Structure 1
Amino acid sequence: MTTAQFGLDTFGDVTEDANGKPVSHAEAIRNVVEQAVLAEQVGVQFFGIGEHHTDDMPMPAADIVLATIAGRTEDIRLGSAVTVLSSDDPVRVYQRFATLNAVSNGRAEVTLGRGSSIESFPLFGYDLADYEELFEEKTNLFAELMKGEPVTWHGKTRPALDNQDVVPHTGDFPVWVGVGGSPQSVVRAAHYGFSLMLAIIGGHPKRFAPYSQLFQQALKQFGRDPLPVGVHSPGHVAATDEQAQREFWPYYRDVITRVGRTRGFATPTEASYAHEVGPHGALYVGSPETVAQKIAANLRVLQATRFDLKYGIGGLPHESLMTTIELYGNAVIPRVRELLATPAAGMLPASK
């Protein structure tokens, strides 16, 4: 636990200016670069960008933004959060992140996902009826590509490869599989020897503890060494709990209400929000001390050694996001390390 890693994830959400008007897509993307530069300055160890293709999250080419960030940073690791492998070509995904690994001098990572946001499927001509098969086949091919040897592969979802050398060869880089609640995905990650990233966006985080246990058991059954488990969850940090909750609530309410129309989420209420930001919810919203206590407790419960805070939400101003990043790096992360170094500290009370 004392060697835990801490990151920040963003979906490139469009922010609002001082007049409450949405900024342009170009400005939103440039702001992400500035946020990543600050993240390194305050000691954050990883910066991830999640692929989306919507007007409020205009981030369809995260690898290009990550390469730009690589040119302005030196140490922070850079990767996706997530790459929707099901609607992409595994060869191109491998090539893009192998290239990022080169330009960043070995700092690249990739998190592969089936796609909880499915706007990329019709965009690139994929049928949602093939949702499971697409991810299974493409993950299988990606695992072959990661071996760094000529690839022979055939399947239904793309043309076959016959002893094909896929370049560039830039060394290994970490591969994670993002999981939002599917045991099959947990076992799949273990089968291919990829690390597990638990995307926990609602409910009590401890309900994901069986997935961590299943992952390590599956690794053992497949004859693999233990691999890291990470946690990706949304949050917002401000000087006080009251300020953080007040700032985050209206944007969270509006975004979840809008997204919920197509994804089946319940409309947030002030009561449900209060539960999610409380000790047994999935939102890390509060002062540095409150957020640190919750991170430390849930890392223990989930037997995880990586925590990525998904900061920001549509509309929340860029200046507020910069404050969150600064507090997360300068106050939250050091405090979590203190809590994890004390065996009896950082534990949440048992839920009733």
Structure 2
Amino acid sequence: MELGIGMFGDLALDPTTGKYRNAGVKMREILDEVKLMDEVGIDVFAMGEHHREDYAVSSPEILLAAASSITKNIKLASGVTVLSSSEPVKVYEDFATIDQISDGRAEIVVGRGSFIESFPLYGYDLSDYNELFEEKLSLLLKINSGENVSWKGRLRAPMNNQTVYPRATNDGKLPIWVAVGGTPESVLRAATLGLPLIVAIIGGMPMQFKPLIDFYKQEYLKAGHLESEMQIAIHSHTFVSEDPKVIEDYFENYKAQMDRVGASRGWAPYTKMQYDGGRSADGALFIGNADEVAEKINRVKEAFGLTRFIGHMDIGDPSHDIMMKSIELFGTKVSDQVR
């Protein structure tokens, strides 16, 4: 099974100044962290896309391109590309460029977008939320299948035997994953198309998602796709430290970011009880020492038949030195127990 680390580029708020941390400093720290991931043998790095003041990265493609020049083996993926508000031709071109620079290590992870700031920012109507994704995914898959593209939809101008360059290294084809938050319709779409699935599990209990993953497997095979090519991943909040005080103190970082996001979604303030419950054996937070985190990953690996686990590791913008130690532990002690 592949082990990966995902990030959103969270920026901590300075309570004394009321300003968020410098985005450039954060981006440079992320590149240092990806370089370490590569050195300790992490399989995948996934960079998210956000268009808010409390996140540093709105263009994961640019950061991944920078990461491709300082790494040798790690796969470089979006986490996710909000495809509904993106241009599929440009998405393919950007990731094919990263793929060429990195000698075949680029992947695209597409999603409808749980954060919707990009829709009004880029001039899209939220009432077209579902149709935009379906149309643009069909176009992206068409581009990925061949350099000469003819395609027609309702919300974007048609393409008539037009060419898209550069092409990716593997006969022009990039790995394209679909990320879902638990909607059966999204799972069915991925299964029918035969696309790899990533399920975001950030709350509740992971085992609650087993029927959804079983549904994907059932529909994937029903659609005639090969079981040997099936790929399933989960993406969950993760942090590793051998120091109990670091884990205890991390609650403040975690709460700060969850409350910022929750303020716009009507969530109640995040509590220590939720944090401790999430960290329990059955909870969805993979936060603890290396043994605890590895044990939880192994449990979901066996239950779901996972081929990949992505640990989302920078929530609330913990300090760079603590992040580096978490990455090192994930790539050594946790990895040894999982592999």
What does residue range 228-247 of structure 1 map to in structure 2 within 5 Å? 228-240=231-243, 242-247=244-249
What does residue range 16-27 of structure 1 map to in structure 2 within 5 Å? 22-27=20-25
Give the CA deviation at 1:137. 0.9
Give the CA deviation at 1:244. 4.2
Give the equivalent residue in structure 1 for 2:174.
173
The alignment covers a number of residue pairs equal to 332
Give the CA deviation at 1:121. 1.0
* 1:268-324 CA-partner distances (Å, limit 9, x unpaired): 211121111111111111000000001110111222110010001223111111111
Moved over 4 A (4+): 19-22
Give the equivalent residue in structure 2 for 1:185.
186
- The equivalent position to 2:338 in structure 1, one of 332, 336, 339, is 336
Give the CA deviation at 1:186. 0.8
Range moving further from structure 2, 51-60 or 196-205:
51-60
Which whole-Å CA distance do the structure 2 matches of 1:232 and 1:282 have between them? 10
- The equivalent position to 2:120 in structure 1, one of 122, 134, 138, is 122
SS in 1 for 2:160: strand
* 1:318-349 CA-partner distances (Å, limit 9, x unpaired): 11111110111111111112xxxxxxxxxxxx
SS in 1 for 2:150: strand
Range moving further from structure 2, 82-91 or 205-214:
205-214
The answer to whether the aligner puts 1:266 opposite 2:268 as a matched pair is yes
| 8 A Cα contact 1:98 1:169, kept in partner | yes
Range moving further from structure 2, 42-51 or 169-178:
169-178
Give the equivalent residue in structure 2 for 1:5.
2
Indicate how the Cα distance of structure 1 residues 244 and 236 shifts in structure 2: closer, same or farther if over 3 A, else same.
Answer: farther
Which consecutive residues of structure 1, in runs of 5 or more, have no partner in the other structure?
A: 338-352
| 8 A Cα contact 1:229 1:303, kept in partner | yes
Amino acid at match of 2:269: T
The answer to whether the aligner puts 1:300 opposite 2:302 as a matched pair is yes
* 1:167-195 CA-partner distances (Å, limit 9, x unpaired): 11222221100010111111111222210
The answer to whether the aligner puts 1:320 opposite 2:322 as a matched pair is yes
What does residue range 1-80 of structure 1 map to in structure 2 within 5 Å? 4-15=1-12, 22-80=20-78
Percent identity at matched positions? Answer: 40
Which whole-Å CA distance do the structure 2 matches of 1:144 and 1:159 have between them? 15
SS in 2 for 1:263: coil
Give the CA deviation at 1:48. 0.9
Give the equivalent residue in structure 1 for 2:106.
108
Which consecutive residues of structure 2, in runs of 5 or more, have no partner in the other structure?
A: none
Give the equivalent residue in structure 2 for 1:220.
221
- The equivalent position to 2:312 in structure 1, one of 303, 307, 310, is 310
Give the equivalent residue in structure 2 for 1:280.
282
| 8 A Cα contact 1:209 1:303, kept in partner | no
Provide the aligned C-alpha RMSD in A. Answer: 1.7
Give the CA deviation at 1:13. 1.5
After TM superposition, the score normalised by the length of structure 2 is 0.94
Give the equivalent residue in structure 2 for 1:342.
none
Give the CA deviation at 1:49. 0.3
Range moving further from structure 2, 133-142 or 256-265:
256-265
Which whole-Å CA distance do the structure 2 matches of 1:271 and 1:326 have between them? 28
Give the CA deviation at 1:164. 1.4
| 8 A Cα contact 1:90 1:142, kept in partner | yes
Which whole-Å CA distance do the structure 2 matches of 1:335 and 1:265 have between them? 36
Give the CA deviation at 1:252. 1.2
After TM superposition, the score normalised by the length of structure 1 is 0.90
Give the equivalent residue in structure 2 for 1:347.
none
| 8 A Cα contact 1:237 1:328, kept in partner | yes
Amino acid at match of 2:221: K
Amino acid at match of 1:290: E
Give the CA deviation at 1:141. 1.0
Give the CA deviation at 1:79. 0.8
Amino acid at match of 2:160: D
